[in-house]
Chains A and B, each alone.
Chain A
Amino acid sequence: KAGVTQTPRYLIKTRGQQVTLSCSPISGHRSVSWYQQTPGQGLQFLFEYFSETQRNKGNFPGRFSGRQFSNSRSEMNVSTLELGDSALYLCASSQGLGNSPLHFGNGTRLTVT
């Protein structure tokens, strides 16, 4: 089975721009979660989608949004980028039960200048 695929691997954007990150989950997985990883804050939960519906949301501003398509692929969008949004964004898929382990992609490294 192919793993979780995230594109692109690297992005450089300017403050004020917007960005869209993409995630293709493991085949058969209906849940996709997004995490932000920074040296200072560690891994922080952004949101989770299950069957095209946002099921859980972390404590991030509304500039961070996402969606999930009928094939379970997911996109995350960040608008009006700030310098502090520079981070590794990790996508994880799972079968969607509370005890289902997360399977992570290799992440998208976003740098905001």
Chain B
Amino acid sequence: AQSVTQPDIHITVSEGASLELRCNYSYGATPYLFWYVQSPGQGLQLLLKYFSGDTLVQGIKGFEAEFKRSQSSFNLRKPSVHWSDAAEYFCAVGAGSYGQNFVFGPGTRLSVLP
């Protein structure tokens, strides 16, 4: 069965600083990987996804993520954080070619200092 870990429960960065959120997954085959963001009281919004091909994927809001098979990682990055990026971020792995039972990581809460 697939699993996802996000080692950092809470990260605080200053506005304008760079950001990297870590995600490690466990899955027997080539995974489908996703990053979502959740603001308080809201649902989850898709930031980006990886299926195959180029291991560096671009998403919305200036985010990017890099898939590293050798490290079973899919870390999310942003070169310059904005105050509006404060939210909770979830990494998820898809189950494969059939079905939509995604497994989500525990989330990383991002705080942004002015």
Contact = CB atoms under 8 A, between A and B. Distances in A.
Contacts, number: 70
A98 B96 contact: yes
B44 A90 contact: yes
Interface string A73-113: 00000000000000000101010111111111111000000
Interface residues of B, number: 26
Interface string A17-49: 000000000000001010100000011010010
Per DSSP, are chain B's interface residues mostly helix, strand or loop, or mixed? loop
B102 interface: yes
B49 A101 contact: yes
Interface residues of A, number: 28
Per DSSP, are chain A's interface residues mostly helix, strand or loop, or mixed? strand
Interface stretch (B62-70, B79-87, B103-111): B103-111
A14 interface: no
B101 A33 contact: yes
B43 A98 contact: no
Interface of A: 4, 6, 31, 33, 35, 42-43, 45, 48, 50, 55-56, 58, 90, 92, 94, 96-107
What are the 9 closest A-B residue pairs judged by CB atoms, nearest first?
A104-B43, A43-B104, A98-B97, A56-B101, A104-B44, A56-B99, A106-B43, A99-B32, A48-B100
